[in-house]
Structure 1
Amino acid sequence: MSKIAVIGSNMVDLITYIDRMPRQGETLEAPGFAMGCGGKGANQAVAAAKLGADVVMLSKVGDDVFADNTLANFQRLGIDTQHVTRVAGVSSGVAPIFVKSDSHNSILIIKGANAHLKPADIDAAQAALRNCGLIVVQLEIELETVYYAIEFGKRHGIPVLLNPAPAVEGLSRAHLAQLDFLIPNETELALITGQTVNSPDSALKAAKQLVADGIRHVIVTLGEKGALYVGEEGEFRVKGQIVAAVDTTGAGDAFIGCFAHHWSQDRDIKKAMTQAVAYSAYSVTGLGTQTSYPDASTFNRFLQDL
Structure 2
Amino acid sequence: MTEREQEILRLLREDPMIPQQQLADRLGISRSALASHISSLMRQGYVQGRGYVLREGPYAVVVGGANMDICGTAEGPLRQGDSNLGKVRLAPGGVGRNIAENLARLGSDCRLVSAVGRDPHGERLIEVSQQAGINMRHVLQLEGHSTSCYLSLHGQDGEMQCAINDMAILEALTPQRLAPLDGLLGAARALVLDANLTEPTLAWLFGRYAHLPLFVDTVSVAKVEKLRPWLAAIHTLKPNRLEAERLCRRTITGPADGPAVAAWFHRAGVRRLFLSLGEQGVFYSDGEQQAHLPILPSPVVNVTGGGDAYMGALIHAWLQDYDLHQSARFARACAALAVASPDTVFTGLSLAAVERLLEEYPC
With the length of structure 1 as denominator, give the TM-score of the two structures. 0.89
C-alpha separation in 1, matches of 2:141 and 2:179: 17
Q: Where does residue 158 of structure 1 map in the other structure?
A: 212
* Pair 305,99 (structure 1): closer, same or farther in 2 beyond 3 Å: farther
Residue 24 of structure 1 deviates from its aligned partner by 5.1
For the pair 1:239 / 2:294, whether they are aligned, the reply is: yes
Question: Which 10-residue stretch deviates more, 66-75 or 41-50?
Answer: 66-75
* Pair 198,108 (structure 1): closer, same or farther in 2 beyond 3 Å: farther
* Pair 206,19 (structure 1): closer, same or farther in 2 beyond 3 Å: farther
- The answer to whether the 8 Å contact 2:195/2:224 transfers is no
Residue 80 of structure 1 deviates from its aligned partner by 1.9
**Superimposed CA distance per residue, residues 24-56 of structure 1 (whole angstroms, 9 cap, x where no aligned partner):** 5465544x3321111000000000000001011
C-alpha separation in 2, matches of 1:305 and 1:273: 16
Q: Where does residue 242 of structure 2 map in the other structure?
A: 187
Question: Which 10-residue stretch deviates more, 240-249 or 53-62?
Answer: 240-249
Residue 21 of structure 1 deviates from its aligned partner by 8.3
Percent identity between the two aligned chains: 23
- The answer to whether the 8 Å contact 2:73/2:158 transfers is no
1:85 to 128, 140, 145: 140
Amino acid at match of 2:243: E
C-alpha separation in 1, matches of 2:215 and 2:76: 36
Q: Where does residue 3 of structure 2 map in the other structure?
A: none
Residue 115 of structure 1 deviates from its aligned partner by 2.5
For the pair 1:40 / 2:95, whether they are aligned, the reply is: yes
* Pair 146,275 (structure 1): closer, same or farther in 2 beyond 3 Å: same
**Superimposed CA distance per residue, residues 152-185 of structure 1 (whole angstroms, 9 cap, x where no aligned partner):** 221xx21101111122253353311111111111
* Residues matched between the structures, number: 303
Residue 305 of structure 1 deviates from its aligned partner by 4.0
Amino acid at match of 2:91: G
1:283 to 319, 333, 338: 338
- The answer to whether the 8 Å contact 1:133/1:158 transfers is yes
Secondary structure of 2:218's match?
coil
- Aligned residue runs from structure 1 range 226-305, under 5 A: 226-292=281-347, 294-305=349-360
Secondary structure of 2:303's match?
coil
* Pair 60,286 (structure 1): closer, same or farther in 2 beyond 3 Å: same
- The answer to whether the 8 Å contact 2:337/2:346 transfers is no
- The answer to whether the 8 Å contact 1:186/1:221 transfers is yes
Residue 134 of structure 1 deviates from its aligned partner by 0.6
- Aligned residue runs from structure 1 range 16-95, under 5 A: 16-17=72-73, 22=78, 25=81, 28-30=84-86, 32-95=87-150
C-alpha separation in 2, matches of 1:19 and 1:176: 45
Secondary structure of 1:207's match?
helix
**Superimposed CA distance per residue, residues 212-241 of structure 1 (whole angstroms, 9 cap, x where no aligned partner):** 112111111223332111333332112211
**Superimposed CA distance per residue, residues 88-138 of structure 1 (whole angstroms, 9 cap, x where no aligned partner):** 111111112456677765754210322211122332111112221110111
Residue 283 of structure 1 deviates from its aligned partner by 0.6
With the length of structure 2 as denominator, give the TM-score of the two structures. 0.76
- The answer to whether the 8 Å contact 1:171/1:192 transfers is no
For the pair 1:140 / 2:193, whether they are aligned, the reply is: no
- The answer to whether the 8 Å contact 2:74/2:154 transfers is yes
Question: Which 10-residue stretch deviates more, 162-171 or 290-299?
Answer: 290-299
* Pair 23,144 (structure 1): closer, same or farther in 2 beyond 3 Å: farther
C-alpha separation in 1, matches of 2:229 and 2:249: 16
* Pair 111,198 (structure 1): closer, same or farther in 2 beyond 3 Å: farther
Amino acid at match of 1:41: G
1:149 to 187, 205, 208: 205
Secondary structure of 1:201's match?
helix
- The answer to whether the 8 Å contact 1:62/1:87 transfers is yes
Residue 292 of structure 1 deviates from its aligned partner by 4.8
C-alpha separation in 2, matches of 1:197 and 1:144: 31
**Which structure is higher in RCO with an 8 Å CA cutoff and minimum separation 6?**
1
Secondary structure of 1:137's match?
strand
Structure 1: runs of 5+ lacking an equivalent: none
C-alpha separation in 2, matches of 1:206 and 1:100: 37
Q: Where does residue 121 of structure 1 map in the other structure?
A: 177
Amino acid at match of 1:265: Q
Calculate the aligned-residue CA RMSD, in Å.
Answer: 2.5
Q: Where does residue 225 of structure 1 map in the other structure?
A: 280
- The answer to whether the 8 Å contact 2:218/2:224 transfers is no
- The answer to whether the 8 Å contact 1:241/1:281 transfers is yes
Secondary structure of 2:165's match?
coil
Greater C-alpha Rg: 2
